[in-house]
Chains A and B, each alone.
Chain A
């Protein structure tokens, strides 16, 4: 068996090379099919690997609680809120929480000014615990300390993007910026984190939570976000259940009322993105496999032509002793090699295409092909070759030697 395969491969290669251009055109369908599959997969897989990384940089075991006004409540003109009391409650009662921090977003203008430069940024009031919860480390200077909150100091920690936009010096510590009409002293510069799904994580300005509250003035009805990280070994679902119960109780919700808050986990978000990406991969993969099928039919067509063309040759081989399986193997292997060759070229082309696309679009993650996609592409194109090679090969193998020899 091995001997037959070896010899058939040898002669198949000779024949494929003898008709270089025709072989290439024949296999073009497969090339295009595989190239598009691989391009799509390499892009989506690169994306999902990247998303995975980004989310782990967000702090993979962190939870965010936000107020969420159910539609029924909104119709009645109500507005859900998360209050500092809720924060206290969770701090006191919830178990499995490693660190917890409130985040108060600036409600009005988020203009930041340094000398003559102004920019708009996300200003957040938070505490020293934010550092652990959000995995936000300072590159120079220091983070917001507990004392900053206690004394409502006008200090700020800024992201890299803000520093660049404002034209601040390389080390911006001890410079002053104007936030909402008040001057704040820069005490730290955050390490760059890049962006997640279009949100630049370096475009932030952090100030002490209590300072932020005092700036919000006598506006008593504030709505905060709570971000917390879980202790080692604690199940996200357990904590989520616990928090839900606590907050529902605190907000006096009847059993038939919807939650007036949302608990988001980084993992949840990641799973959602993964699902979407897998769907996209699947759908496009499905569409593209049709083109592989079309490519296979092209191969069958050319193989049939080739059998007819080589009828005499087949007759000669049979006359000097070729058995059915010799001829069958030769044409089958030729079809498979053609198809595999197309698969290989398509693989390279698809990867090149994916890389080109991902590098031509700014901030798009680099393309990557998983091994399973390579195996799938080659396996599938080989299979297509065998599937569509069977008919021509059987036709060749079943030729009667004398008829084949007489063929003009």
Chain B
């Protein structure tokens, strides 16, 4: 349950996608990065999207995160029809509903770990002190409470990923989206990060992960496989692959 009571009863699905397509025109050829994706995701689920490189995972996640707009199709987030929203309303949704963890961390290079985690709260008109408190809490949660004053380039990859996760968590979003959260990390650090996700999931956080690693995907409740912009398999975790 979200503390700000933003639950929408009208739609039991947190996310509902209907025939989502994203096409890129490259000269005379048409690249179908996404080609008719329909999927529903419930609150509290941990869903992993898996697929080979170029199958459209990042494109899909960007649309889910309201960063990109689909060429075609319908997207309902929390019962809101996203396609109708203007840029500022989308920014509002990104701020309130979504925590985005990027493939390449995407931290602000000149802000400290704490500054990075505080940044999304700036757009919520939260005062400096409160922001600091909230950011510290989030950093504590990801186990980085002792590195708050370090700049991103003074942190290891795993630590940067934790900062990015803390930044995603600090706004208490409806969904946490992560694009290849372990893509840039060694297996040991990956395990730590995945354990963190597991913990968040057990606390009720809705999680959507994109990965190309089978064992990472297998940690979720549900694994959806993409190929050439289409869903080719949708199964509960633990079900046999073949």
A: residues with CB less than 8 A from B are 3, 7, 14-15, 18, 312-313, 315-324, 326, 401-402, 405
Whether B123 contacts A323 by the Cβ 8 Å rule is yes
Q: With CB as the reference atom, state the residue of chain A lying closest to B126.
A: A3
16 residue pairs of the A-B complex, CB under 8 angstroms, read: A313-B109, A317-B108, A318-B91, A319-B100, A320-B95, A320-B119, A320-B123, A321-B91, A321-B92, A321-B94, A321-B95, A321-B171, A323-B87, A323-B123, A326-B123, A405-B67
- Please give 20 more A-B residue pairs, beta carbons under 8 A apart, in addition to A313-B108, A318-B91, A321-B92: A7-B122, A14-B111, A316-B108, A317-B108, A319-B65, A319-B100, A319-B106, A320-B123, A321-B96, A321-B120, A321-B124, A321-B171, A322-B91, A323-B88, A324-B88, A324-B91, A326-B123, A401-B67, A402-B67, A405-B67
Specify which chain A residues have a CB less than 8 angstroms from the CB of B188 in the assembled complex. Answer: none
Specify which chain B residues have a CB less than 8 angstroms from the CB of A18 in the assembled complex. Answer: 110
Contact with A along B89-120 (1 / 0, CB 8 A): 00110111000101000111111000000011
Q: With CB as the reference atom, state the residue of chain B lying closest to A403.
A: B68
Kindly list the 3 A-B residue pairs having the minimum CB-CB distance in the complex, ordered from nearest.
A321-B95, A321-B123, A320-B120
Whether A320 contacts B167 by the Cβ 8 Å rule is yes
Specify which chain A residues have a CB less than 8 angstroms from the CB of B119 in the assembled complex. Answer: 317, 320
Q: Does B125 contact A (CB under 8 A)?
A: yes
Whether A405 contacts B106 by the Cβ 8 Å rule is yes
Contact with A along B66-97 (1 / 0, CB 8 A): 01100000000000000000011001101110
A312 to B152, CA, bound (A): 15
Q: Does B62 contact A (CB under 8 A)?
A: yes
Within 8 A of A (CB), among B143-191: 167, 171
Specify which chain A residues have a CB less than 8 angstroms from the CB of B65 in the assembled complex. Answer: 319
Q: How far is the CB of B119 from chain A (nearest CB, A)?
A: 6
A7 to B125, CA, bound (A): 9
B: residues with CB less than 8 A from A are 62, 65, 67-68, 87-88, 91-92, 94-96, 100, 102, 106-111, 119-120, 122-125, 167, 171
Q: How far is the CB of B179 from chain A (nearest CB, A)?
A: 11
Q: With CB as the reference atom, state the residue of chain A lying closest to B69.
A: A402
Whether A319 contacts B125 by the Cβ 8 Å rule is no
Q: How far is the CB of A397 from chain B (nearest CB, A)?
A: 10
Q: With CB as the reference atom, state the residue of chain B lying closest to A398.
A: B87
Q: How far is the CB of B166 from chain A (nearest CB, A)?
A: 12
Whether A316 contacts B67 by the Cβ 8 Å rule is no
A291 to B241, CA, bound (A): 72
A46 to B124, CA, bound (A): 52
Q: With CB as the reference atom, state the residue of chain A lying closest to B106.
A: A316
Q: With CB as the reference atom, state the residue of chain B lying closest to A318.
A: B91
Specify which chain B residues have a CB less than 8 angstroms from the CB of A326 in the assembled complex. Answer: 122-123
A315 to B120, CA, bound (A): 13
A319 to B108, CA, bound (A): 12
Whether B94 contacts A319 by the Cβ 8 Å rule is yes
Specify which chain A residues have a CB less than 8 angstroms from the CB of B67 in the assembled complex. Answer: 319, 401-402, 405
**Which residue, of A315, A321, A323, A324, has the highest number of chain B Cβ atoms within 10 A?**
A321
Q: How far is the CB of A333 from chain B (nearest CB, A)?
A: 14
Whether B92 contacts A323 by the Cβ 8 Å rule is yes
Specify which chain B residues have a CB less than 8 angstroms from the CB of A319 in the assembled complex. Answer: 65, 67, 94, 100, 102, 106
Q: How far is the CB of A402 from chain B (nearest CB, A)?
A: 4
Whether A312 contacts B123 by the Cβ 8 Å rule is no
Specify which chain A residues have a CB less than 8 angstroms from the CB of B110 in the assembled complex. Answer: 14-15, 18
A305 to B120, CA, bound (A): 25
Q: With CB as the reference atom, state the residue of chain B lying closest to A325.
A: B88
Specify which chain B residues have a CB less than 8 angstroms from the CB of A15 in the assembled complex. Answer: 110
Q: How far is the CB of B59 from chain A (nearest CB, A)?
A: 9
A313 to B106, CA, bound (A): 8
**The residue from B109, B123, B167, B171 contacting A322, defined by CB atoms under 8 A apart:** B123
A18 to B109, CA, bound (A): 11
Q: How far is the CB of B56 from chain A (nearest CB, A)?
A: 14
A15 to B109, CA, bound (A): 11
Q: With CB as the reference atom, state the residue of chain B lying closest to A312.
A: B106
**Which residue, of A313, A320, A322, has the highest number of chain B Cβ atoms within 10 A?**
A320
A18 to B151, CA, bound (A): 13
Specify which chain A residues have a CB less than 8 angstroms from the CB of B87 in the assembled complex. Answer: 323-324
Q: How far is the CB of B103 from chain A (nearest CB, A)?
A: 10
Q: How far is the CB of A108 from chain B (nearest CB, A)?
A: 82
Whether B92 contacts A320 by the Cβ 8 Å rule is no
A227 to B217, CA, bound (A): 106
Specify which chain A residues have a CB less than 8 angstroms from the CB of B109 in the assembled complex. Answer: 313
Specify which chain B residues have a CB less than 8 angstroms from the CB of A405 in the assembled complex. Answer: 67, 102, 106
Specify which chain A residues have a CB less than 8 angstroms from the CB of B68 in the assembled complex. Answer: 402
Specify which chain B residues have a CB less than 8 angstroms from the CB of A312 in the assembled complex. Answer: 106
Q: How far is the CB of A70 from chain B (nearest CB, A)?
A: 77
A324 to B89, CA, bound (A): 10
Whether B94 contacts A320 by the Cβ 8 Å rule is yes
Specify which chain B residues have a CB less than 8 angstroms from the CB of A401 in the assembled complex. Answer: 67, 94
A315 to B100, CA, bound (A): 12
